[in-house]
Amino acid sequence: MSLTKNPNVNKWVEEMIALCKPDSVVWIDGSKEQLDQLVEEVTSLPDGHPDKLYKLNEEKYPGCLYHRTRPNDVARVEDRTFICSRREEDAGPTNNWMDPKEMYAKLTPLYDGVMKGRTMYVIPYSMGPIGSPLAKVGVEVTDSIYVVLNMNIMTRMGTQAFENLGDVSNDFVRGLHSKADVDPENRYIVQFPEDNTIWSINSAYGGNVLLGKKCFALRIASYQAKNEGWMAEHMLILGLKRPGEETRYVCAAFPSACGKTNLAMLIPPEGYRKKGYEVFTVGDDIAWLKPGPDGRLYAINPEAGFFGVAPGTNEKSNYNALASTKKNAIFTNVALDNSDNTPWWESLTKEPPVDATEWKGAKVNGPEYCAQLDANGKHLTLAHPNSRFTAPAENCPCISPEFNNPNGVPISAIIFGGRRASTTPLVYQSFDWTHGTYMGSAVSSETTAAATGAVGVLRHDPMAMKPFIGYNVGDYWAHWLEMGEILGDKAPKIFNVNWFKKDAEGHFMWPGFGDNMRVLDWIIKRCEGKVGANETAIGFLPKAEDINLEGIEDEVSPAQLDELLKVDTDLWKKEIAEMRRYYNDDIAAKGGKIPAALYGVLDKIEANLNK
């Protein structure tokens, strides 16, 4: 029985039932009783059943579950992800495109009768706090209990979501998912931005099937944001509380492997903690930003949980993330320590468990298994490298008191960053919003020898949004510039950071992790006008005396700090040449409409470097 009187929702669900032909339909109300019943059903399936979830050690991991996806279904699939706008030019050069009519014609036969013998679950959910003017509603239909249970963690799921929609609005995102046969040849994750619609088929893996996440919260939402005057960004949100000062909030966007989650859940160094500094996590992955009544930019985290990579997460690398997984979490494609039925992954502890179940389900001797080499000469791993945890944000020890604030939090600074061994200083500030937009468009990371066979090859990832922009990247940059005009002098200040600069011997020069607090401190002081800066050809850089090195004098000498803050003119001329090549060859030549203002920034920096 439907949970809403909204005729738009009910009509669409009836259409999906007619297409997929499930044996039964269950509307998800979000109640504990209903969820407990689904957990009992899915954990009672026989071993080896592809849908089965397992209960973990109730004393050590209360309420936690474990799941294995099929070996051919373990990650997002960019080559099978499409933006189906009516005009190809509106998808732009960073997206796969197909005409919506063609795609609907291609996919409809795959969904026809796909849920015969199965149950369809209708999931109403809110992206953002219930009652928030910044929130949006989605309805996902799926044949997967795994999806239902994960969506319960990642969104505000259930009857309450319809409070945000009401009885007449048609402003909801329609999500259709079926795990079908998990056939990789017919695996598609498709966004129809003009139809507010997402269709996903033949995957049972998180990022492809939790349609509120990247599909809605970034690809569809970025398109909505352009049309409605706000921003949907691949950004963390954190609050910095200092003694005697108001909490200041920042957003930050980094490509993968650049310390995003660590910054979101940063633990300040001891010297800062003793003075009363605290960091609060509002979000670790996605930010929706809208101008508030006072003209400032406010952000909410549209998600209610964390969907984090497990390998590499431990008490030392990210205490707060690990603590978030200790109850009511779901683990996917990790290993099991059979001695106590707990999850395990590489670097969780120094040694793998002796009695282990590896991620595909085989029982093995952990140390012996990990000593073996695969076909590429790399050691086997018990957990899949992209294994995940889905954890409620409320579990996080440093979750912000403002996490559920319907009005969001005011943003003082936006930070971009990438992994660069040279060229980019530790931190610098843009001259203005237009220059800051350029800095975002120039976000890139260098590949490593292990990954590509060549060191220093740039992988461009504008605003860390390359796989997630739901329309033409050039129009996306133009929208950033429009937002700057709307915000005017109340716009957040924009900065770029680089924790990964190396010395001549190839060693990292900056300690990173909690010590990134020192850079964050300078950024906030700049926003408040409490410290000056040196104006350089590329932007405003800190004066050396304004970066607090107390407690790390043995790690960062004054000479090293000077090197970290150095602007190498020759390297920057190469950087500008590379950005011209990127704009012209990778974007403009392939249909990206680059705003003239960004070329203007390139010209200005180049002129500065030639002075």
Enumerate the active-site residues. Answer: 258
Find where tokens 């921003």 sit: 231
How many angstroms separate the CA atoms of 537 and 438, rounded?
14
65 within 8 A of 391, measured Cβ to Cβ: no
Q: Which residues contact 459 (CB under 8 A, 6 or more apart)?
A: 255, 444, 445, 446, 447
Q: Cβ–Cβ contacts within 10 Å for residue 365, how many?
A: 13
Strand ranges, E, within 462-556: 493-497, 534-535, 540-541
> Residue 194: which of 160, 213, 219, 214 has the closest Cα?
219
DSSP 51-118: T-EEE--TTTSTT-EEE---TT--S--GGGEEE--SSHHHH-TTSB---HHHHHHHHHHHHTTTTTTS
How many angstroms separate the CA atoms of 542 and 562, rounded?
10
SS3 169: coil
How many angstroms separate the CA atoms of 77 and 230, rounded?
28
How many angstroms separate the CA atoms of 74 and 332, rounded?
9
Strand ranges, E, within 349-491: 355-357, 363-365, 388-392, 409-417, 427-429, 444-446, 458-460
Q: Which residues contact 61 (CB under 8 A, 6 or more apart)?
A: 325, 326, 327, 329, 342, 343
* Neighbour order of strands in the sheet with 363-365: 342-344, 335-337, 355-357, 363-365
345 within 8 A of 310, measured Cβ to Cβ: yes
How many angstroms separate the CA atoms of 290 and 383, rounded?
39
How many angstroms separate the CA atoms of 608 and 573, rounded?
10
How many angstroms separate the CA atoms of 574 and 564, rounded?
19
> Residue 189: which of 150, 102, 197, 181 has the closest Cα?
197
* Integer-rounded Cα radius of gyration of the chain: 24
Side-chain-side CA neighbours of 314 within 13 Å: the count stands at 11
Find where tokens 């205490």 sit: 319
Q: Cβ–Cβ contacts within 10 Å for residue 113, how many?
A: 12
460 within 8 A of 467, measured Cβ to Cβ: no
